[in-house]
Amino acid sequence: MNKILLAGAYALALAMGVADLRDLAAYAAPAVAAAAGPTVKIDNFVFGPEALTVTVGTTVTWINQDDIPHNIVANDKSFKSKVLDTDERFSFTFTKPGEYGYFCGLHPHMTGKVIVKAG
């Protein structure tokens, strides 16, 4: 079985004009870029970490790693994401100190908070 897969990969490489199979990596789909700042993962109906402390000017990214849709809504309505499908992201930059509670608008029992301190 492995020989068949290897032969198929080699045939594909030749068809693409790649002489060395190691060069095939250049044709691979690019990986999704990692978030630059702190992240909150959404998985199994939980925001993790539930509380996150950052400084003013920090961009926080929420990543839906669940297999069902979720969104992020600030208690004070200062931010709200669209509904995120699996692997979709939402980012928000915090410009003022304070405590920002949030929840999932589709599953309101899911809650979290971002604590923003002066830089």
The reply to whether 22 and 44 lie within a common domain is no
Residues 50 and 13 both lie in one domain: no
pLDDT, mean over the chain: 82
Where does the pLDDT of residue 96 fall: very low under 50, low under 70, confident under 90, or very high at 90 and above?
very high
**Per-residue pLDDT at 30:** 40
- Cα–Cα distances (Å) from 16 to 7, 29, 59, 94, in that order, read 14, 15, 40, 46
| Structural domain span for residue 18 | 1-30
- Global pTM reads 0.72
The per-residue pLDDT for 20 is 52
109 and 54, same domain (yes or no): yes
Confidence of residue 117 (pLDDT cuts 50, 70, 90): very high
Question: What pLDDT, on the 0 to 100 scale, is given for residue 35?
Answer: 59
Percentage of the chain modeled with pLDDT above 70: 71
What is the CATH classification number for the domain harbouring 87? 2.60.40.420
- 19: pLDDT strictly greater than 70: no
Residue 39 has pLDDT above 80, yes or no: yes
